[in-house]
Amino acid sequence: MSLTELLPLTDVTACCAPLTREAISAENAEKLAKTLKAIADPARLRLISMVAAHEDAEACVCDLTEPLGLGQPTVSHHLKILVDAGIFTRDKRGTWAYYRLVPGALDSVAQHLVTV
Amino acid sequence: MSLTELLPLTDVTACCAPLTREAISAENAEKLAKTLKAIADPARLRLISMVAAHEDAEACVCDLTEPLGLGQPTVSHHLKILVDAGIFTRDKRGTWAYYRLVPGALDSVAQHLVTV
């Protein structure tokens, strides 16, 4: 696993106050919107759900194409968006790359949205 | 206030299990992606933050254009997207329409994303 594969490009785990409790800055709004856009897609939400539910909470593209009903290039494209957004890590082992959730990444997004 | 203004078109408050805990159905993934898309915009995130922070937690477009630094048609467009997505209610009183957060709408989105 290379260092770049361990470090997401966007640090979505750097947590902020809920946006309904504290005025969100223009800069933080840009960052949060970028992360939300990455997950605001039905196929990518299902990928997140599938990877989390998979054995050892990781999966390769080979595990995901059939249940998702999409071709490998399309699935790889969605996976890349999730890696670039700091939601998934990518670990190349042998023939396949394995994807898993970055701990805390989705919780950080949720933390911005809670109001209570 | 008319009945249609009280009922959001998308019932985002109908809560589901976190998507990392239970496989999300294709139908629920579509719904959640639609709501996420509505909030996945820097101006709309700032609008949510501003309306929540405003006196009585409601605001009209007249309160929002200046702090946001955008024209009234643009702000109205963003507000409409948030109303259509069930994030804001719209209450026309006199000259202006007043917007406020639908209770539980953002919390329901957050609930889908938490992993712990």
Query: Is the pLDDT at B13 greater than 50, yes or no?
Result: no
- Residue B40 has a pLDDT of 98
User: What would the mean pLDDT of A83-96 be, rounded to a whole number?
Assistant: 96
Higher pLDDT, A63 or B12: A63
Query: Is the pLDDT at A103 greater than 60, yes or no?
Result: yes
State how far residue A51 is from chain B, nearest Cα, in angstroms. 8
Q: Where are the alpha helices (DSSP H) in B1-116?
A: 3-6, 26-39, 42-53, 61-68, 72-84, 105-113
Query: Is the pLDDT at A6 greater than 60, yes or no?
Result: no
Query: Is the pLDDT at B5 greater than 80, yes or no?
Result: no
Identify the CATH number of the domain in which residue A49 sits: 1.10.10.10
- Residue B15 has a pLDDT of 57
User: What would the mean pLDDT of A78-102 be, rounded to a whole number?
Assistant: 96
User: What would the mean pLDDT of B47-61 be, rounded to a whole number?
Assistant: 94
CB within 8 Å: B101 and A20:
yes
Query: Is the pLDDT at A13 greater than 50, yes or no?
Result: no
Instruction: Using an 8 Å CB-CB cutoff, list chain A residues near B17.
Output: none
Percentage of chain B modeled with pLDDT above 90: 79
User: What would the mean pLDDT of B34-43 be, rounded to a whole number?
Assistant: 98
Instruction: Using an 8 Å CB-CB cutoff, list chain A residues near B23.
Output: 49-50, 53
Q: What is the pLDDT of residues B55-73, one digit of tens each?
A: 899 999 999 999 999 999 9
CB within 8 Å: B114 and A101:
no
CB within 8 Å: B42 and A22:
no
ipTM: 0.86
Domain of residue A78 covers: 3-113
First vs last C-alpha separation in chain A:
39
Nearest-CA residue of chain A relative to B27? A42
Domain count, chain B: 1
User: What would the mean pLDDT of B18-28 be, rounded to a whole number?
Assistant: 91
Q: What is the pLDDT of residues B98-114, one digit of tens each?
A: 999 999 999 999 999 99
A115: part of which helix (H) or strand (E)?
Answer: none
Identify the weakest region by mean pLDDT among A18-22, A95-99, B28-32, B108-112.
Answer: A18-22
CB contact at 8 A, B3 and B83? no
Rg (CA), chain B: 15
DSSP for chain A, written as a single string: --HHHHS-SS-TTS----TTTSPPPHHHHHHHHHHHHHH-SHHHHHHHHHHHHSGGGEEEHHHHHHHHT--HHHHHHHHHHHHHTTSEEEEEETTEEEEEEPTTHHHHHHHHH---
